Amino acid sequence: MLKSLDRNLNKLYKFSGYIAAFFLILVAVFILIGISSRIFSFYIRGLAEYSGYCMAAASFFALAYTFVEGGHIRITLFLEKLSSAKKKFIETWCLSMASFFSGYLAFYFIKMLIISYKFQERSEGADEILIWIPQTSVAIGSSIFFISVFHQFILTIKKIK
């Protein structure tokens, strides 16, 4: 059962990476449309804001995939100098702290999303979009990141035993 859960979580992280790539493509499309609109003298409201929303979504959806693939800055240079017992302890401690802080981050992004939805907040840009719409991707991305960090923490503890 745990192997199935591990496999499905890894699929979730990879899917999250694909979603991040899709949002990066949207950023490029919005920028190209903005450049083209200036050349051909027409204006599309809110392109800069939509580009920013997509960049935030891409950043947060990429967190889990990047973490699992080992792309985040880690303390490996420091860990290489330690003995195996100290290394396991420090790695476990770091993952426990990362789990706590990523959970804290996800909790408050979800809380922010709920408040924005409740009060029907709108962006201050030219588009005046309901702000909970772009905040949804940030909340989901940070939640997936928390799951990936906690998942790695559990795997590290399991490896110690």
> For residues 159 and 145, which has the higher predicted lDDT (pLDDT)?
145
Task: Kindly write down the DSSP assignment for every residue of 9-41, as one continuous string.
Answer: HHHHHHHHHHHHHHHHHHHHHHHHHHHHHHHTT
Both tokens of residue 31? 């920028």
Give the per-residue pLDDT at 78: 77
Number of domains in the chain: 1
Give the per-residue pLDDT at 23: 97
Both tokens of residue 21? 């790539």
Structural domain span for residue 138: 2-160
Handedness of CA 119, 125, 129, 132 (dihedral sign): negative
Per-residue pLDDT of 5-19, as tens digits, reads: 889 999 999 999 999
pTM of the model: 0.89
Q: How far apart are CA 157 and CA 161, in angstroms?
A: 7
Q: How far apart are CA 142 and CA 82, in angstroms?
A: 31
Give the per-residue pLDDT at 150: 96
The label of the residue with tokens 């809110």 reads: 46
Give the per-residue pLDDT at 108: 97
Is 160's pLDDT higher than 70? no
Mean of pLDDT values over 34-54: 87
Q: Please state, for a pLDDT cut of 90, what percent of the chain lies above it.
A: 63
Mean of pLDDT values over 143-157: 94
